[in-house]
Structure 1
């Protein structure tokens, strides 16, 4: 389903600020040894992507999320369902989706879930958007579903290593031959965004627009809202979704993971809060009076080196619930 690369946040002032803003014991030789069978062939992966685009375009044209469970899994499903609610509320269909410039990264896997990644683009010219799609299959014969699609701001997937047969190598979330185990990234990133660069584990992530700069933007947004009589409390946590990672050419890893953001807005005077921007469609416009609580999911794509700090290069953010009183 077509989405905008930088979803609108609530309130608009805060949106502007944020816009600135294998087992672990495997040796390199052991990790390079093929294990398991490829999840599927490249031809089959192309069919999966084409089928997904067809289903997403149908859902977008109808402005209905009814069929999304047949082509998506969480967190993508919850996020795109919320995106369709917004579009239905503003009566705006998404642009038709057509993937181009596609490269597939198919790992050898010893068992289920099966999964693969795809680097692709939609749009043309200065409206081109890159995608880091991740599809999963829960069991033999189960449908292939899009589970994640963060937008990379650099050609991160081109760093993925391929074996002589052209297949990628999965990295265990608990791998210890990296600067940080992929499975530890969500908690470290959540700590940084909640409590700042001095939080426990925050030093594992390099400074950047999606790490330290986002934290600064959030603090600036909170101060600006306070000047308008609105208090904002924001906390991030690791979302309960599987972490996926593929080996890169430098023996590092490219990692997909998800955070949950809980926001609480409060105001002493009625009329200071409103359901608008990214929250449209999630609650009646007049629901918020003096308090509003929201849940946001944020997908991330990060590159972890063998030594050094992890770099976050992609994301997709969407509010999925809103409750006012």
Structure 2
């Protein structure tokens, strides 16, 4: 898996100067067969570890594919070493479900020492006979998946993204998160998200970054929206949900002085280094993992952020 941007705050990332779809319905224990057996799920993870280094397109799907493909471009330019694709301490969370797409999640560890990363892997299968592909991998800061409820046979229950009766409907999380970054914690819908480094603190860092750039003669307009693709959720022991979702960030950096903008940082490999003259437009994808209780506010526990497109002019 290509190297990650592990910054917890959504600073203006990249250059510088320095609708959600249902993914299975909620079911009671034993009412539906599991998406696959635990042995088959382990084989899917092992196959991913083997195949991803050779071809991301045969091992991943969006948003993971778009993000990791961009990270691969950056690594080729910077000649950075590929991180470990071997997972250990794997715990599987396979939901019971009928029909397709089918999916499952896994809590896993990669790397050693300072390079150790915790993963919230999510694999999907679009239809019968289709390959299982990695669709999401936000990096949780705690043992978030340990909250998932398991039935007596060790299988999980999916939550319909449109399910009511929680602190926020899982399908509404991308919209709420986008509203927070666009308008701050008091924006309509943003109050569903609790405070933390990936929510209100990230918004403040973004505002501070915009102000700092303005002082250097650079304008930044940043707009967030729900990313295309489904939302996935598993039932937790408190009758809440653990939710995987993604947000898209569109940025426009502008200046009247040539030489102030540069394609650096997270944008390396996405546009020619000298293409930034007076404007750079970027597209960034951000994956999140959030715990949604029955009442209260959602807590965002994991994130993976990567610029996926850039254009200088």
In the superposition, the TM-score normalised over structure 1's length comes to 0.90
Q: Distance in 2 between matches of 1:237 and 1:301?
A: 16
How far does residue 2 in structure 1 lie from its aligned partner after superposition?
Answer: 3.8
**Residue 284 of structure 2 aligns to a residue in which SS?**
strand
Q: Distance in 1 between matches of 2:90 and 2:101?
A: 23
What is the number of residues matched between the two proteins? 304
Task: Give 4+ residue runs of structure 1 displaced > 6 Å after superposition.
Answer: none
Aligned pair 1:306/2:294, yes or no?
A: yes
* 1:13–1:221 Cα contact (<8 Å) kept: no
Where in structure 1 are there 5+ consecutive unaligned residues?
15-22, 60-66
**Residue 213 of structure 2 aligns to a residue in which SS?**
helix
Aligned pair 1:286/2:274, yes or no?
A: yes
How far does residue 33 in structure 1 lie from its aligned partner after superposition?
Answer: 4.2
What corresponds to 1:53 in structure 2?
49
Q: Distance in 2 between matches of 1:279 and 1:5?
A: 11
- Greater RCO (CA < 8 Å, at least 6 residues apart): 2
What corresponds to 2:129 in structure 1?
141
**Residue 110 of structure 1 aligns to a residue in which SS?**
coil
**Residue 51 of structure 1 aligns to a residue in which SS?**
helix
1:232-267 CA-to-partner distances (Å, cap 9, x unmatched) read 011110011100000000000000000000000000
Of the three residues 170, 179, 182, the one matched with 2:170 is: 182
What corresponds to 1:123 in structure 2?
111
1:154-203 CA-to-partner distances (Å, cap 9, x unmatched) read 11000000001110000000111211110011000100011101111000
Q: Distance in 2 between matches of 1:256 and 1:137?
A: 16
Where in structure 2 are there 5+ consecutive unaligned residues?
none
Q: Distance in 2 between matches of 1:40 and 1:33?
A: 15
More helix per residue: 1
How far does residue 126 in structure 1 lie from its aligned partner after superposition?
Answer: 3.6
How far does residue 49 in structure 1 lie from its aligned partner after superposition?
Answer: 0.3
1:186-233 CA-to-partner distances (Å, cap 9, x unmatched) read 000100011101111000000110000000000000000011100001
**Please, what is the CA RMSD of the aligned residues?**
1.7
In the superposition, the TM-score normalised over structure 2's length comes to 0.94
What corresponds to 1:220 in structure 2?
208
How far does residue 68 in structure 1 lie from its aligned partner after superposition?
Answer: 1.3
